[in-house]
Amino acid sequence: MLQTEQKQPFPPFTIETAKQKVRMAEDGWNSRDPEKVSLAYATDSEWRNRSEFPIGREQIKTFLQKKWQSELEYRLVKELWTFTDNKIAVRFAYEWHNEKGQWFRSYGNENWEFDDNGLMKKRYASINDLAIEESERKLTWPLGRRPDDYPGLSELRL
């Protein structure tokens, strides 16, 4: 299938454009909108997310719908780890609670590979969950985009 969609910035990445790509991904995921988020991925994108392996936008959308139905009040922070021409590695943490009210902080790393149009064609995520008390939460801004003046992972010592 011919991919004509584009998502700036495009590879090869610089430190500035890699950071921009990371923040765009964080903002998208914090929207918790599966349709919007799926548009950042190539139509044949390949994922590994824990023990799930969605392929293509439709499977990605289904995965995200299920995710945000069970991971309630989801808030995410991503931080650039390193990058090359068309690859970016990030570390992240997000907080959420289940339907029983148990809070979790999920920590992880992602490796991303982009096509020439700036769409992510591969995403490999490794994630660990830690049960926390609500009083231990660090990601407490109102639902949606993390405010620009809210601390990042390093500042929060995550």
For residue 59, the domain's CATH number is 3.10.450.50
Confirm whether 21 is domain-assigned: yes
CB-CB neighbours of 120 under 10 Å? 21
Confirm whether 27 is domain-assigned: yes
Total count of domains within the chain:
1
CB-CB neighbours of 117 under 10 Å? 15
Contact call for residues 131 and 103 (beta carbons, < 8 A): yes
Q: What is the pTM of this model?
A: 0.95
Contact call for residues 68 and 146 (beta carbons, < 8 A): no
Which pLDDT score is estimated for 9?
A: 97
Confirm whether 113 is domain-assigned: yes
Confirm whether 125 is domain-assigned: yes
Residue range(s) defining the domain that contains residue 59: 15-140+149-156
Which pLDDT score is estimated for 26?
A: 98
Which pLDDT score is estimated for 4?
A: 74
Confirm whether 4 is domain-assigned: no
**Local mean pLDDT, 10-residue blocks, the chain (158 residues):** 79 98 98 97 97 97 97 98 98 98 98 98 98 98 98 97
Confirm whether 2 is domain-assigned: no
Which pLDDT score is estimated for 3?
A: 53
Confirm whether 37 is domain-assigned: yes
Confirm whether 91 is domain-assigned: yes
